[in-house]
Amino acid sequence: MSELLATRVGSLTLKNPLIAAPGEHLIESEGVRRALRAGAGAVVVKSTNESQAARDQLQRAEYMAFDEQWRPTPWGPSASPSATIACRSGLSPKSFEQWLEDAAVLDREAKEYDAYAIASLVLAGLEPAVAMARQIEEAGLRVLELNIGTPYASQAARGAVSTELDPERVRIIVTGVRAAVRIPLFVKITGQSERVPDLARAAFEAGADSVVMAGRLLGFIPDLDTFEPMLGTSLGIGGFWNLPLTCHWLAVSRAALGGDKPLIGTNGAQSGLDIARMMLAGASAVSMSSPVMLRGFEVLSDALREFERFLSHKNVRAADLVGVAADRRKTFADMIPRPDSWRNYVPA
C-alpha cells in the first residue's frame, strides 16, 4: 500500500480514497472485477433489498446523457466532461441469495487487490434490512453500506426504496442495523434536504462508522420537440456541476460534527483533481459511479493516476488533504470589506 495514497475511513484503511460507487455497471461480477483491476480502493456492489418492485424497476430503467444545452448526447467514452446524466434506475435483478453469494466471493477476491467489495442495502423495510445485514456479515463481507438516500422514493412503487429526510427516523434505522452487525457500517444520505448535517449527525450518533453524502437529486427535463418529459418522468440526475454542492455539504457537516467523523463524498467527482477537491472539503474518501457507467472503467484508473501526480506535485499525502479547505472556510460576515467591488461585475 502506498503511503502517499492511503486514507482512513474510521477503523478502515483504504489503499487509496477512490471508491467505485454502485451502478448498473456493477451488477455483474465482471464489472466489479474490472473496477478492482482499475485500482479502486473499494467497490460497492450494486445494491439490493427485499422489494420485488425495486427489482422490477430496473426493467423499466432508461438512461440519457445531455450536453450543456440540454440536448441528448451520445452515450459512451466520447461524452463531454460537462455531460449531465439522467436516468430511471432500479436495484440488482438477482435474488438476495444469489446476490449475497456473488458479493461474498467478490470481497474475498478484493483482498488480493488490497481492496474491498462492499455490500450495499437500499432500505425498504427496516426488519428485512436488519435480517439481510446479519446475513451479509455472516457471509464474511467486511463492510456494509446502508443507502437511505436514494432520489427515487417519491417516484418508485410504494415501499421499494427510501429517501429519509427526518433525523429521528435516520437514528431509528441506523440503530437497528448497527445492533445487528459489527462490521463497518457506511450510511448514505440524501442531498435533497437542507438538513444534511443533521441527518449525518443522527447516523453517527446511532453507530455509523462513516456517512456518504450526498445522493443524487431528482430533476425534470422537458423535450422542446415533443413537449413531453425526457424519459417520461422525473429523473435521478448527476454531473460535474454537483461537485460544489457535495463539497458544501462536506464542509458544513465537518464544521457541525467535527473532524473525527469520517465522511465520504459522492456525486460530482469525475477526475483525480475532483478527488482532491472533495478531500479538501472534508471527505476521507470519494465515490464515483455515473462517470464510470458513462465513459468506462478507465475513468477510475485515469483518476487515480491524475490524483497521484497531484499529490507528488504538491508533496503531500492523500490523508493530509482531508478538511484543509473546509477548516479555512469563513462566513460572509468574516470577509474583508471590498467597497463597490460589485460594480466590476455588472454589464457596462
Say if residue 157's pLDDT is above 80.
no
pLDDT of residue 13: 97
Question: In whole numbers, what is the pLDDT of the chain averaged over residues?
Answer: 94
Mean pLDDT of the region 83-101: 93
Cβ contact 326:251 at 8 Å: yes
276-287 average pLDDT score: 98
Tell whether the model's pLDDT for residue 172 goes beyond 70: yes
Class for the domain spanning 7-329 = alpha beta
- Residue 56: what pLDDT? 86
What pLDDT does 283 receive?
98
Residue 158 pLDDT grade (very low, low, confident, very high; cuts 50, 70, 90): low
pTM for the full predicted model: 0.95
Locate 19 and state its grid cell.
471508491
Mean pLDDT of the region 24-44: 98
Cell numbers that stand for 37 in this block: 483491476
Characterize the bridge pairing of strands 263-266 and 235-239: unpaired
Q: How far apart are CA 269 and CA 266, in angstroms?
A: 7
Average pLDDT over residues 38-66: 92
Percent of the chain scoring above 70 in pLDDT: 97
